[in-house]
Amino acid sequence: MSGRYSDQAMESAAGRDVTVLMPVVHPAAAEEPGPEQQPAPPSFPTSSPQLNDVLIFSVIKKKPRTEFEALVRRGAEVDCLCQRTGRTPLAYAVNENDYRVVRDLIDLRADVNLVMPGGHTALKTAILNPNHDGTEMARLLLSKGAGHEGVRDVVGPSNVNVTVQYWLDQAALYPVTKKKQDQLRPFGLERLLEIYFGVIGERLAARILFERMLGHCSDTGAARGKPLVLLLPGPPGHGKTFATMSLARTLVPEDDILHIICSTLRDDADLFGSRLGGSTRGEYSSDGALVAFLRTRQAKRTVVVLDEFEKLKDLTSALGWDQAKKMYQAFLEPWQDGTLTDQGSQARAAGNKIDCSKTIFICMTNLGQKEIVEFADKHRARIYERQLHDADLAWVQKELVDKEIKPLWERYLKGVSPEMVALYRRFNGIVPFLPFTEHEQVVVADTELRSYLQRYRDPPVLDDSVPLEKRRMVGNLIVHNSLRVARLAAKAYEVYEGASSLQKYAQNVHGMLCSKELSGVLDEARRNKRNLREIWLDIVDDRVEIAFSKPSEDDDTASAAGAAREGPGVLPGAAEACAGSADVHGSGAPAQDAVGLATREMERVGEELGSYDFE
């Protein structure tokens, strides 16, 4: 990269309000101009190479998205190559495991499949990242359209852990292509394809959600002025909330999402304010959260999430049926007519109709979890296979939704009042969330463990001035997980707790590592070139222990393919392709070494960019 500008000048160039780069003036050259001498005009970095330098610098320094946008508008190439390393800005962000910068660059149309010198891609950089656990980064890149074909051959099967294997299989089943993204972009739905990468398992739920959202949002005329209303039943801990919030963020900005936990509502006024009258706070002129939210977003795509929807029944006991009836009818009005009568505190708005035809109502509930668990257990082999085929999707709908969920909810609403069955009939779709398969349990366990282990790579936080919740005892430590550990952790799975039961196991491992840190045992670990300690998790007598060298029986990724074969619903042939492919890098070490060299060079250039004056 050319060295012409100071660090401060490059930072200024990346700012939104700065349109030029000022050259560095050294003290010896800084002379007072004579009476007739005028200062030379500054040189402007208007060429793409100069702007590209600044863009790479801005990525390394993790500047705000607005600065990337400003540079691209001026002519910087988002897929430019660093002259020294041959890496793109996206590669730098992936190397640093910076999800925010990666998303920003991809939103600016960075090519996730660009092949850099040496055959490197962003996905390969993530999987073989020697400094960070790239599992979540690989998931993000695949959800953005990174190609999965041949990845196992390129990086070597031994470098693909069980969770990355799962996301590669998911990408094979539900590929994100540029053609699909371009087709969805006119409707603001280009990120809808990410739904298949939002949660582990729940392919049936993802399919139904995708189709319902696509049908509603790609042709609002077909909706006939009515909102989309969905019911998501299932046992807790299986991704209802996470999938719903992830889906909402792919559709609308954060400010256009309203999340209401129904078990926390004190009365109807929390939702609709004093508009219903007769509530415990009816004498006050106030707006409830739902009315205020919808009023300011009329005729706009919004998402309203009603968590623990079945808990509204508890309000009927507290309020009495007369008041509860008004509340249920208040829901029925927008769901049935696409409008809500505004009788809130703003006098000028009173009586007006609030247009909520483009609102998406998602009601999450645990009611029906027993029926779903029993049904899944009874039809285990068949139900998980049927998630994959269009022709058989109707079987799950008929046998589970129509025969089990629908009668249950009709009985529930009739228990409130017979007329409330009309509320159930306004649901446009029932989206059941199923228990995890054995293979999915292993993947979730591996994911939960990695969520703890990756944080240890950062320095410990022991400063008393730092808030207690942000302090951390263990740091400067690389902990290698293995498939064997994930399999043992998966045995802690409880169907009525879901991922929460696996989180508890991960917390126990975390506690064990904290104890080892406190006793000084971890100080015996060898240190890598970045002066980070390095240990492995191993299984000894059916319990997790630490090791200071890679266990000889550690078959983390070679057996990841075997784990894939164990679970129903995995792409036929994908696991076999992984297990049977020739390891072009042998044990994977040459691939790791190549990426390590590139990483160190990128780090060196990054350090220079952060401290070097460009002259």
The DSSP annotation for 156-202 comes to -GGG--HHHHHHHHHHHHS---HHHHHHHGGGT-TTGGGGGGSSSS-
Among 190-204, 315-329, 442-456, 463-477, the minimum mean pLDDT is found in 315-329
Q: What percent of the chain has pLDDT over 90?
A: 49
**Residue 167 in tokens:** 């996301």
∠ CA 241-97-445, rounded to 5°: 45
Residue 36 burial (C-beta neighbours within 10 Å; 0-12, 13-18, 19+): exposed
> What is the separation of C-alpha 286 from the centre of its chain, rounded to a whole number of angstroms?
36
Average pLDDT over residues 339-368: 80
Say if strands 257-261 and 302-307 run parallel, antiparallel, or are unpaired: parallel
Given this model, what pLDDT does residue 607 score? 61
Q: Which residue has the higher pLDDT, 424 or 246?
A: 246
Given this model, what pLDDT does residue 150 score? 86
Average pLDDT over residues 313-342: 75
Given this model, what pLDDT does residue 312 score? 76
Q: Are residues 379 and 451 in the same domain?
A: no
pLDDT band at 416 (very low <50, low <70, confident <90, very high): confident
Evaluate if residue 282 carries a pLDDT over 50. no
How far are the Cα atoms of 147, 152, 200, 318, 553 from residue 158, in angstroms, in the given order? Answer: 19, 9, 22, 59, 13
Tokens 């999915």 locate to 440
**Residue 594 lies inside a defined structural domain of this protein:** no
Given this model, what pLDDT does residue 577 score? 28
Residue 204 burial (C-beta neighbours within 10 Å; 0-12, 13-18, 19+): buried
Given this model, what pLDDT does residue 598 score? 62
Residue 535: strand pairing partners: 479
Rounded to the nearest integer, the mean pLDDT of the chain is: 80
**Residue 37 lies inside a defined structural domain of this protein:** no
Q: Are residues 414 and 513 in the same domain?
A: no
Say if strands 477-480 and 533-540 run parallel, antiparallel, or are unpaired: parallel
Local structure of residue 352 (DSSP, 8 states): P
Residue pLDDT, tens place only, 145-198: 999 988 888 888 888 999 999 999 999 999 999 999 999 999 999 999 999 999
Neighbouring residues of 283: CB distance < 8 A, sequence distance ≥ 6: 274
- Are the CB atoms for 128 and 592 separated by under 8 Å? yes
Q: Are residues 133 and 274 in the same domain?
A: no
**Which structural domain, as residue segments, surrounds residue 113?**
7-30+42-177+603-611
**Residue 316 lies inside a defined structural domain of this protein:** yes
**Over 403-451, what HEC string results?**
HHHHHHHHHHHHHHCHHHHHHHHCCCEECCCCCCCHHHHHHHHHHHHHH
DSSP characters over 123-152? HHHHHT-SSS--HHHHHHHHHTT---TTHH
d(CA 230, CA 360): 8
Q: Are residues 344 and 418 in the same domain?
A: yes
| Number of other CB atoms surrounding residue 66 within 10 Å | 12
Task: Specify the CATH number for the domain of residue 295.
Answer: 3.40.50
Task: Specify the CATH number for the domain of residue 107.
Answer: 1.25.40.20
**Residue 67 lies inside a defined structural domain of this protein:** yes
Evaluate if residue 318 carries a pLDDT over 80. no
Evaluate if residue 85 carries a pLDDT over 90. no
**Residue 592 lies inside a defined structural domain of this protein:** no
d(CA 263, CA 258): 15
Residue pLDDT, tens place only, 377-414: 988 877 776 665 666 677 888 888 999 999 999 888 88
Q: Which residue has the higher pLDDT, 576 or 539?
A: 539
Domain count, the chain: 3
Q: Are residues 283 and 425 in the same domain?
A: yes
Q: Are residues 167 and 23 in the same domain?
A: yes
**Residue 406 lies inside a defined structural domain of this protein:** yes
Q: Helices 438-453 and 483-490: crossing angle, nearest 10°?
A: 110
d(CA 574, CA 332): 47
State which of 430, 462, 485 marks the end of a domain: 430
Residue pLDDT, tens place only, 423-434: 888 899 999 999
**Residue 573 lies inside a defined structural domain of this protein:** no
Q: Are residues 50 and 77 in the same domain?
A: yes
Q: Are residues 354 and 400 in the same domain?
A: yes
Residue 527: strand pairing partners: 533
Residue pLDDT, tens place only, 107-153: 999 999 999 998 889 999 999 998 889 999 999 999 999 999 888 88
State which of 395, 430, 465 marks the end of a domain: 430
d(CA 38, CA 30): 12
Strand arrangement of the beta sheet that strand 302-307 belongs to:
257-261, 302-307, 359-365, 228-233, 429-430
Dihedral of alpha carbons 317, 322, 323, 327, sign: positive
DSSP characters over 508-524? HHHHHHHHHHHHTGGGG
Neighbouring residues of 378: CB distance < 8 A, sequence distance ≥ 6: none
Residue 539: strand pairing partners: 544
Residue 261: strand pairing partners: 307
Residue pLDDT, tens place only, 554-598: 555 444 444 443 443 333 333 332 333 333 233 344 555 555 666
Local structure of residue 238 (DSSP, 8 states): S
3-state percent breakdown (helix, strand, coil) of the chain, nearest 5:
55, 10, 35
Given this model, what pLDDT does residue 279 score? 47
**Residue 313 in tokens:** 């029944």
pLDDT band at 44 (very low <50, low <70, confident <90, very high): very low
Q: Are residues 397 and 317 in the same domain?
A: yes
Q: Are residues 275 and 351 in the same domain?
A: yes
**Residue 585 in tokens:** 């890098």
Task: Specify the CATH number for the domain of residue 523.
Answer: 1.10.8.60
**Residue 60 lies inside a defined structural domain of this protein:** yes
Given this model, what pLDDT does residue 6 score? 46
**Which residue type is seen at 133?**
D
Q: Are residues 228 and 375 in the same domain?
A: yes
Evaluate if residue 501 carries a pLDDT over 80. yes
Q: Are residues 140 and 238 in the same domain?
A: no
Neighbouring residues of 359: CB distance < 8 A, sequence distance ≥ 6: 227, 228, 294, 297, 301, 302, 303, 304, 334
∠ CA 21-26-28, rounded to 5°: 150
Given this model, what pLDDT does residue 93 score? 96
Given this model, what pLDDT does residue 386 score? 60
State which of 430, 451, 486 marks the end of a domain: 430
Q: pTM higher than 0.85 for the full model?
A: no
Evaluate if residue 422 carries a pLDDT over 90. no
Residue 365: strand pairing partners: 233
